[in-house]
Amino acid sequence: MTSKTPVDTSTLFSDKSELYQRSRPTYPPELYQFLAEQCLNHDHAWDCATGNGQAARHLIKHFAKITASDISAQQIAEAIPHPSIRYIQSGAEHTPLANNSVDLVTVAQALHWFDYQQFWPEVARVLRPGGVFAAWGYNWPRWGEQFDKVLTESFLRVIHPYFSANNQLLWDGYRDVIFPFTPIDSPKFSMTVQYTLDQLFDFLHSVSATRRCIEHQGDDFFHQAYQATAQIWGNPNLNREFEIDLVLLVGKR
């Protein structure tokens, strides 16, 4: 397993939780349908590191009840309430969930932040026999060669030193994560999202490395990247369509 730098995840995504809520892309419904089809029962799912509850809100279409946990109280405060979702503030490695109580555990865009020596036993404890674990994540939006070049040169190269070593696990497709469950072959999923120029930069601003970079360097680079992107965008209010690939890790207890 790739070594990870200790990170205080309790505050990592708290300071811009409302930005995170409105700017992050929505996962495809086909993903949730696929995961539901892998489960023997559909009574209870645990959405771990739920953030603002994006995945939890879609899981309620397939499961009777959802427990959605996150270490950040600010993120949970941004979540939309639902009678079938119980939001709790809790770290991933220790939860109040009962033994053998859930049919599915999901982790969206967060597996690379966990302490696996404690997390995997917790998942095994709460999953029912035959239960399913699924984690997924994504990288950068793609629009075209010209956009990719501008984004890399004006933005990604600037913030790259401010990423935690944990992010490399995601960029490598979670292949270096030691997975303790029986793997399930899964199809490839992707997201198609539409952003105006401002919406795209809301998304880029929500990235943890962006905020670290601004804290150390100021925000001049961010405005310069905006202007560089605006030159190829055209009307800033025009929606541009982006493709984002998902990395998916699925297994059965």
Q: Residue 73 belongs to what domain range? A: 9-252
Residue 155 lies in a domain: yes
pLDDT value of residue 58: 96
Residue 2 lies in a domain: no
pLDDT value of residue 53: 94
Residue 1 lies in a domain: no
Three-state secondary structure of 202-249: HHHHCCHHHHHHHHHHCCHHHHHHHHHHHHHHCCCCCCEEEEEEEEEE
**Run of H or E residues at 251:** strand 240-252
pTM of the model as a whole: 0.85
- Rounded mean pLDDT, 207-213: 92
Helix, strand, coil % (nearest 5) of the chain?
40, 25, 35
Q: Is pLDDT larger for residue 180 or for residue 18? A: 180
Q: Is the dihedral of CA 140, 141, 145, 151 positive or negative?
A: negative
Residue 102 lies in a domain: yes
Q: How many domains does the chain have?
A: 1
Sequence-separated (6 or more) residues with CB below 8 Å from residue 127: 100, 102, 103, 105, 133, 253
130-159 pLDDT, tens digit each: 999 999 999 889 999 999 999 999 999 999
**Roughly what angle, to the nearest 10 degrees, separates helices 197-205 and 208-217?**
80
pLDDT value of residue 10: 42
Residue 154 lies in a domain: yes
Report residue 56 as tokens: 């939890």
Residue 245 lies in a domain: yes
Best-predicted range by mean pLDDT among 20-29, 60-69, 188-197? 60-69
Find how far residue 236's CA is from the centre of its chain: 27
CATH code (residue 83): 3.40.50.150
166-203 pLDDT, tens digit each: 888 998 999 999 999 999 999 999 999 999 999 999 99
Report residue 113 as tokens: 């932040």
Q: Quick check: 120 pLDDT over 70?
A: yes
Residue 3 lies in a domain: no
Q: Is pLDDT larger for residue 22 or for residue 48? A: 48
DSSP letter at 142?
A: B
Mean pLDDT over the full length of the chain: 90
Distance CA 117, CA 97 (A): 18
Q: Quick check: 8 pLDDT over 60?
A: no
**Roughly what angle, to the nearest 10 degrees, separates helices 208-217 and 220-233?**
120
